[in-house]
Amino acid sequence: MRFRHSWDFMQAIQHLLSSDNILVVTDTETTGLNAHVNRVIEVAAQRVTPISSDEWFSELINPGIHIPGNITRITGISTSMVYAKPGAEVVMPLFEEFLGDSIFVAHNINFDLSFINAEFERAGLERMTNQGLCSLRLARRLLPGLRSKSLGNLARFFKIPGEGRHRAAKDVEITTLVLDRLARIAIEEHKVDSIAELVSMQSKTYAKVNPFSKHVVQIRRDVLPSLPPTPGVYYMQDGRGKTLYVGKAKTLSKRVSSYFTAIEAHPPRLRQLISKVRTIRWDVTDTELHALVLESRQIKEMDPPFNRAQKKYIPRPYLRVNQADAFPSVTVQVIVRNDGALYYGPLRNRSQANILVEIIEKYLPLRTCSTTEFSGGKHCVRADIGRCHAPCEGGISESDYSDIIRKVTDFLEGDIAEICLLIEADMLRAAERLSFEEAAALRDWIELLDSRVVQYGSVAPPVHGPAFIHLCRSVEAELGTFVLVESGRIVSVEAIQSSEQVEELAFNAFAQKDVSSSALDRIQIDARRILDHWLYVNRQRVESIEKRPEESERAFSNRAQQVYTQLLSSAPGASVQ
């Protein structure tokens, strides 16, 4: 039988069972830790067969002694709760009957077994001789990399809700689910196909259980020591040299080594990757930003099966204002050209771009007609309702219309206060009319504008705007990253070793730049997307400076050095070089 990777509830453990094998998953709550002195105050058990897990046994027990306060705080079971309950001499024979000759299962089996046997002896019963299966021992073999194998930590690891723990029935429920998850691992990764093999596995040594030992040992011995402590991109390959996964790292040695540490505690997909990896190669980069851009490009070129994101170049929309028109409109465009028009973006998707155009056209009286309609010289409905000054009929001068365009560009570059006030007023009016859907849509507009400005510093950054230098200090403060962006392209990315380097890096980048007049290609647009995200993630350590129109390249470069010196001096414990 072939096993599926997506299991239904209890499918794994029940598949291992036969009609001759039944599990009874058990948990006890006690007055302390010593089975010879302390007593059982609650016992619960769940019978698991190949077809059912619905039979339960659960009883509170009067221990005949006072329940300590610390036990009540942990379990919620007080002396008054068990006062009228039967004693162990009544409950234990019933539990023995429920258990029968089934396999006795518990988490940390020695604890529960010692208490139950002690109560059996007090009740005049024979000590338990059932075969045992301990979920704690099994977890130690199957998940040796997981630091804690406590029931609570295993529940968190397997994302099993843990509310109500430290009552016997709830702990039985969690233990049963943990056992099922462990059985899945045993079946899928160790080819276990019977409950007898699972029981046997709990006593095996780690070396015999671990399916990755040979090639993992080889990679740990031959590859990991060679990894440099620098940024870069790594490529995990199978035995035939096929690239299975591409990743980036701030520090290659730490990142790649993490895959081969505590392997069993990794998610299933990652364990599957490690099981197939036989070789690892890497490219060292000067900065993390270099690594991010290279990673994105290599994923798209290689299409590795274990990468999920960044596999395709996604066309991102831009807003376009054609300055060649005397009375320009705002349109959505995917291809960015050096055609003299103003481009703003990229935006997340076409829907977001259309919303921004709708906001602009609602609150700024731009024309929306096509060139053919405009040349016809007849005003439209928007002019009738006051949404357009009808430039087609000479209703507004080019100079006055230019003022409106300036408001549009100011809005896109982050001046959203005035328009947000207008949207908010419309939202309140819609709420007063009980038009709650309209009010909610207007509220979403405000949230969109706020989030764009917070994340990018503008609603949509200008593509062909002024040159920018972005300076980022590293966490260590002595190192950093230099980025020059001009005409929508990343012109230069360099590692900074000292503040004195910044001026020459900037000036040399300007001297060597070769900005093409062609359209931005998808690789350049993807690199800009990565840069924008990187700037946002590192915003606490980044300073961005804009080149002034009258400023020379040398003066701009000198100003960049001064800004970086101040950035270093603001870092905790920094020493400016």
Q: pLDDT per residue over 284-333, tens digit each? A: 998 899 999 999 999 999 999 999 888 787 888 899 888 778 788 888 98
Domain presence at residue 558: yes
Per residue in 369-387, is it b (16+ CB within 10 Å) or e — as a string? beeeebeeeebbebbeeeb
Contact between residue 508 and residue 494 where contact means Cβ atoms under 8 Å apart? no
Task: Please give, one letter per residue, the 3-state secondary structure of 44-76.
Answer: EEEEECCCCCCEEEEEECECCCCCCHHHHHHHC
Lookup: tokens for 415: 């001046």
SS3 (DSSP) at 525? helix
Domain presence at residue 476: yes
User: 562: part of which helix (H) or strand (E)?
Assistant: helix 553-569
Is 389 one of the catalytic residues?
no
- Based on the domain organization, do 401 and 487 belong to the same domain? no
Q: For the domain that residue 177 is a member of, what is the CATH number? A: 3.30.420.10
Domain presence at residue 65: yes
Domain presence at residue 5: no
The pLDDT score that the predictor gives to residue 474 is 77
Domain boundary among the residues 174, 206, 238 is at: 206
- Based on the domain organization, do 376 and 407 belong to the same domain? yes
At 264-294, the pLDDT tens digits run: 677 778 888 988 899 999 999 988 999 999 9
Indicate the number of domains in the chain.
Answer: 4
Q: Which residues contact 45 (CB under 8 A, 6 or more apart)?
A: 24, 25, 26, 27, 56, 57, 58, 95, 98, 99, 172
Domain presence at residue 185: yes
**CA–centroid distance for 392 within its chain:** 52
- Based on the domain organization, do 48 and 101 belong to the same domain? yes
- Sign, CA dihedral 7-8-9-15, equals negative
Q: Give me the long-range contacts of 560-565 (CB less than 8 A, separation at least 24).
A: 560/469, 560/471, 560/502, 560/503, 560/506, 561/499, 561/500, 561/502, 561/503, 561/506, 563/471, 564/471, 564/473, 564/480, 564/496, 564/499, 564/502, 565/499
pLDDT average, residue stretch 7-24:
78
Q: Which residues contact 308 (CB under 8 A, 6 or more apart)?
A: none
- Based on the domain organization, do 197 and 238 belong to the same domain? no
Domain presence at residue 310: no
- Based on the domain organization, do 414 and 476 belong to the same domain? no
Name the more confident of 376 and 88.
88
Q: Which residues contact 161 (CB under 8 A, 6 or more apart)?
A: 155
5: pLDDT confidence band, cut at 50, 70 and 90? very low
Domain boundary among the residues 156, 176, 206 is at: 206
- Based on the domain organization, do 173 and 187 belong to the same domain? yes
pLDDT average, residue stretch 203-213:
66
- Based on the domain organization, do 278 and 362 belong to the same domain? no
Domain enclosing residue 218, as ranges: 212-302
Domain presence at residue 340: yes
Q: Which residues contact 499 (CB under 8 A, 6 or more apart)?
A: 561, 564, 565, 568, 576, 577
- The residue from 166, 190, 290, 464 that is catalytic is 166
At 525-556, the pLDDT tens digits run: 888 888 888 888 888 888 888 888 888 888 88
- Based on the domain organization, do 107 and 189 belong to the same domain? yes
- Based on the domain organization, do 95 and 138 belong to the same domain? yes
At 419-445, the pLDDT tens digits run: 999 999 999 999 999 999 999 999 999
The pLDDT score that the predictor gives to residue 261 is 79
User: 461: part of which helix (H) or strand (E)?
Assistant: none
User: 528: part of which helix (H) or strand (E)?
Assistant: helix 522-537
Q: Could you give the CA distance from residue 527 to residue 295 in angstroms, rounded to a whole number?
A: 11
Lookup: tokens for 165: 């723990």
At 117-152, the pLDDT tens digits run: 999 999 999 999 999 999 999 998 888 777 789 999
Domain boundary among the residues 139, 174, 206 is at: 206
